[in-house]
Structure 1
Amino acid sequence: MSVVNISSKEQFNSLLNSSYFVVADFYADWCGPCKAIAPVYDSLARQLTRPNHITFTKVNGDQQRDLAQAYSVRAYPTFLVFQNGRKIETVQGADPRKLNEVIQRLASEASKSDGAGGDAGEGNGANGGWLGAAVPKGYGDITDQVDLTGLELLNRDSERGMPRSLFETAKPSALSGKGKGKGKAEGGGSPDWVESDTDEQLMLYIPFQSNIKVHSLHVTSVPPAAGEDEDADDDELPMRPKTVSLYTNRSQVLGFDEADDIPAVQTVEIKPEDWDSKTATAKIDLRFVKFQNVTSLVVFFVDGDGDSEKLRVDRIRIIGEAGEKRTMGKLEKIGDEPGE
């Protein structure tokens, strides 16, 4: 069968993680335009379905209300296209020409991306970008939910990258053979990582565009080996993070003294064996029940795995589930509204 009928949120999330592209047709049994365009959708699915690469699904919005709400589906039919678990395209209404255009473009992109996947090591994350570790079944890379304009990072070295560097989708330059740990961002410019300044601590405030559920964090750190950074003495080379404390739903960044007085939601110690030798990434598993309705995250890098006064972080990826956007524009009636 070319089209997969979705019977649960877990089934849908599993497909998002196992198929490079997923197309979802959100419909309702009582929706006239849904029935009119169904043959067009089914025909495209029969022609273009490719196992684990392009998957076509149908989601009954009345039966799967949690999915409809999670992806802000407010009119039927609505067609959503996902790449590596991230929504990249929306077609609202029974418009065969538009639907065919979007799906054919997707098929063309898919033909260029054979072999791209989400395996541990060097997979694809949000925006088809780089991931340093495997994403567990049922969850996705939701780093694109980070509100980059609201980021704050205390005690960073102003000459070593910007906070938003941590959330770039490109592979860290230090892993690309560009400068042996002194790599620059794509196209040159400032370093694409951050380092601490006066001591080894960093305090990062991450606001999100929606209420999210956080399953785990991927932290990448590629400190240079002795002799690779001519700008620093060997005893000043930055370390990888060791102790990380997490705080949720704060309205602003915490001060270092303030963090000492507030119990963390979770504190994690990253052991040397937790760092993947190929991707320089450690996966931090969280107590999922404590990270269910998160609007912001404070990540406090407390110390490092050595005696240096410097700490380095190259990338952070957020793994979990994205909810409905907290700020929504005016809704337009397209086709049939749910419940009509």
Structure 2
Amino acid sequence: MSGHGHSHGGGCDHDHDNPEDMSAAYSLYQKIDLDRVECLNEVTDGSGKTIFKPWAERNDRSRFVESDADEELLFRVPFAGSVKLRGVSLIGGEEDTHPKSLRLFKNRPNMTFDETGSTPDQEFELTRDESGTVEYSIKAAKFNNVSQLCLHFPTNFGAEATKVYYIGLRGDFMQAHREEIVVVNYELNANPADHKNILSDHASQQIS
């Protein structure tokens, strides 16, 4: 994979003493179109979408995704509307399976590993976090009107495979409005047969 420079986003510790506040803050998982979530290079098909779960269930170790051929993972996450992303948190795997960096791309439908060499919209160096206590702050100006988010984990801390238990997304959601277009077909040219029927009826009335 081609080399690239890193631009570091700020990660900051948060006080998680109030679980209800954090559950409300990290509720964007409810706005993800889970049926269309895809994770490339996952060992088990469909396992990638299971890590987008409620804050209260973030420590559920029964649901996780693990990379297959190498340490890379690429998530394609569509939303049910438009999102203004504000923060990301995650729980990585044990020891060296924890991802080391995260690259975010917005509105790149059907993105593949071949496209991950391009410049991301934001990039983070990750710290080992097995409890989800670190939030990585998003540049809000760059992540307005996000309809699809791609999360690329290019490396981990040295293991052959990468493991992730939880990804939390914080931000604002706007429902997509679909405008219905009503098409009215007007008959511009009258049907000659209709005129014949009208004339016939008129003639019959005069004869009678």
- Normalized against structure 2, the TM-score is what? 0.70
TM superposition shift of 1:327? 4.5
Amino acid in the other structure paired with 1:266: Q
Question: Would you say how many aligned residue pairs link Structure 1 and Structure 2?
Answer: 166
What SS does the aligned partner of 1:165 have? helix
Whether the aligned pair in 1 keeps the contact of 2:29 and 2:53 (CA below 8 Å) is no
Residue 36 of structure 1 corresponds to: none
Paired residue for 2:48, among 163, 182, 185? 163
Q: Would the alpha carbon gap of residues 147 and 213 (structure 1) be closer, same or farther in structure 2, given more than 3 Å must change?
A: same
| Residue of 114, 120, 123 corresponding to 1:257 | 114
CA-CA distance at 1:124 after TM superposition: 3.8
2:174 corresponds to: 323
**Alignment CA distance shift 1:157-1:209 (3 Å):** same
- Equivalent runs, 1:82-231 vs 2, <5 Å: 120=16, 123-124=19-20, 131=23, 135=25, 141-158=27-44, 162-169=47-54, 171-172=57-58, 175=59, 183-184=61-62, 192-223=63-94
Deviation at 1:163, TM superposition (A): 2.0
Structure 1 unmatched runs, 5+:
1-118, 177-182, 185-191, 226-237, 330-340
Among candidates 225, 229, 247, match of residue 105 of structure 2: 247
Can you list the C-alpha shifts for 1:234-285, whole angstroms capped at 9, x where unaligned?
A: xxxx611111111001122x2212211x21101111134xx3x6x2443121
Structure index of larger Rg: 2
Cα deviation code 1:11-50 (max 9, x no counterpart)? xxxxxxxxxxxxxxxxxxxxxxxxxxxxxxxxxxxxxxxx
Aligned-residue identity in percent: 25
Give the direction of change, closer, same or farther, for the CA distance of 1:122–1:193 in structure 2 (3 Å limit).
farther
State how far apart, in whole Å, the 1-side matches of 2:133 and 2:42 are: 20
The whole-number CA distance in structure 2 between the counterparts of 1:195 and 1:281 is 21
Cα gap change, 1:259 to 1:124, in 2 (>3 Å): same
Q: Distance in 1 between matches of 2:160 and 2:17?
A: 29
Q: Is the 8 A contact 2:93 2:162 kept in 1?
A: no
SS in 1 for 2:35: helix
Unaligned runs of 5+ in 2: 1-14, 181-208
Q: With structure 1 as the length reference, what TM-score do the two structures score?
A: 0.44
* Distance change >3 Å, CA 318–CA 326, structure 1 → 2: farther
- Counterpart-to-counterpart distance in 2, 1:314 and 1:122: 21
Kindly report the root-mean-square deviation, in angstroms, between the aligned alpha carbons of the 2 structures. Answer: 2.7
**Does the C-alpha gap of structure 1 residues 265 and 319 become closer, same or farther in structure 2, counting only changes over 3 Å?**
same
Distance in 1 between the 2:87 and 2:43 partners?
27
Give the letter for the 1:152 counterpart.
Answer: E
Specify which structure has the bigger relative contact order, considering alpha-carbon pairs within 8 angstroms and separated by 6 or more residues.
Answer: 2
Contact 2:40–2:75 (Cα < 8 Å) also in 1: yes
What is the aligned partner in structure 1 of residue 149 from structure 2?
297
**Equivalents in 2 of 1:281, 1:239: separation in Å?**
18
